[in-house]
Structures are given as structure tokens and as C-alpha cells.
Amino acid sequence: MQVVRVDHPADPRLRDYTSLTDGALRRVMEPAEGLFIAEGEKVVLRALEAGYAPRSALMEERWLPGLAEPLARAGVPVYLADQPLMEALTGYTVHRGALASMQRRPLPSTAELMARCRSVAVLEDVVNHTNVGAVFRAAAALGIEGVLLTPRCADPLYRRSVKVSMGASFTLPYARFERWPDCYRELSEAGFRLLAMTPAADAVALPELVPGSKDALLLGTEGEGLSPQALAAADLRVQIPMEAGIDSLNVASAAAVVFYAMRWNRC
């Protein structure tokens, strides 16, 4: 394994890690170059276990023992830096001390994913990376077989999404629709029952919902919720009963509740 100590943020070998807080830059850069950043020892290990190929790693020396063996097998350079340099390089405090630049893999098509799943979460324009990561973590934990994203959804492999998902975005299959709102017709044609999550008082209460043979759980964007097009396409509208004075939950919290209820009701 090639271990190199670095001491300057302008070192060209560290280009993958520069200015990670610049969201616009990363959205342009990552799909074009096919990379994403894994942060933290556990997340890096899970990315490697899931079969993602690393390009390099950057870390404080104290994290090297736990990552040395798998990175040595991968044959990639490991750059050692102190905390101030990592902060200057990335633009934020790297609390977990280890980063790895990983090669992306081609996504399955939405048709392929729909053909092999009986339960999917459909995220409509969920743009917050933390929420996307939390939905993936809950879905993986509670038996949802795949995630489908509308075109404007945040990237599940963005650094923050990956970190919050604790690597679930590496193992839970997902795909991205090319067209919206045509995606709802595609789901119906693939045999899915469309369940739209909404706080509307006339929606079916979640405890009364009986799981179907193929269910697509539609979850809407932060604040506004599902679009009128999604609600119109749904076979059923479903609401989580709540105490008076609380009209809705954060999309990630709502997702976890409905995933658990569907799992419980199926049993």
C-alpha cells in the first residue's frame, strides 16, 4: 500500500476531496467523473464490502489501522493529513477523520428494479441529502426492497446522504426515473399499487392499510409534500394518524413510520 503524507491543500493528488461543501460543484463533478465520497471508517468499509472500487483515501493517521488491510487489497494510495489540512481542503470539519474517493457504478433501469421488487419507496423531488439518507436507512432496516427517485431528487451517493444512511445507499437497490409524472403510469403498468402519503383527513389511516402484493409508497418533497399529479395517480391516499395540533411529519420520519407499519401489517 502506498501511504503518502501530504501537507498542502493545493496538492493536485487531492483534487477529489476539494471543497466538498460546494454542492453545485459536486453535482456537476460527480456524475461526469463517476465518483462519490465515503466518509467515516464504517461507511468506507461498507462501500468496499458492497463492491465499490476506491480511487484513493484521505485520513488522519489514527484511522489508518482500521482501514489499512482493505485499502491495501484495493491497491490505492492513502494520503495522511492532519485535521487542519483536511478542513482547509474539504471546507468543513471531518468529524469521522477518514474519507475515500469511490468509483460509481451504473444504476439499474427503473424497469429492471420494478421487475425484481414487491415493495418500493418512491421519492418525489426530495432534495435534502439528509432526508434521502435517512429514508434509505429506514427502508433497508424495515424491509423495503428498492427506492425509485424522480429526476430532481437528491443524490443517494452524495457525501451527506451516504453518511446519514450509514452505507444503506450502497446495498439497497435504487434507480432514477427519466420522466415525471410519467413515472406513475410506469409504476401502475408494472403492477404496483400506488400509495400516496398525505396528511389529508379523508385519507385511509395507516393502521387500517392492508399490504398488497406489490406496493409503491409515494413520499413527497419537503414542505409541500406530494404533487397534485402524484395524488391524482395514486390508488390510495394514506395518512399517519397524529395528535391534534400536529399536521405532518418530516418526510424521513414519515417514511420510517409507514415502512414499519407495512412490515407489521404484513406479518
DSSP string, 114-173: HHH-SEEEEESS---HHHHHHHHHHHHHTT--EEEE-TTSPPTTSHHHHHHHTTHHHHS-
**Residues paired with 79 in a beta bridge:** 4, 58
Q: Taking Cα atoms as reference points, which of 214, 211, 217 lies closest to residue 237?
A: 217
Whole-structure pTM value? 0.89
- Residues 71-74: contacts with CB within 8 Å, 24+ apart? 71/1, 71/100, 72/1, 74/48
From first CA to last CA, the distance across the chain in angstroms is 49
**Nearest-CA neighbor of 142 among 223, 256, 238, 58?**
256
Determine the pLDDT at residue 192: 98
Per DSSP, the three-state class of 38 is strand
DSSP string, 185-230: HHHHHTTPEEEEE---TTSEEGGGPPP-SSEEEEE-BTTTBS-HHH
The pLDDT averaged over each successive group of 10 residues in the chain (267 residues) is 90 85 56 79 94 94 94 96 87 77 91 97 96 97 97 90 92 95 98 96 92 96 94 97 84 95 73
Buried b (16+ CB within 10 A) or exposed e, 191-202: ebbbbbbbbeee
> 58 pairs with which residues across the strands?
79, 99
Strands 54-59 and 98-103: antiparallel
Would you call 22 helix, strand, or coil by DSSP? coil
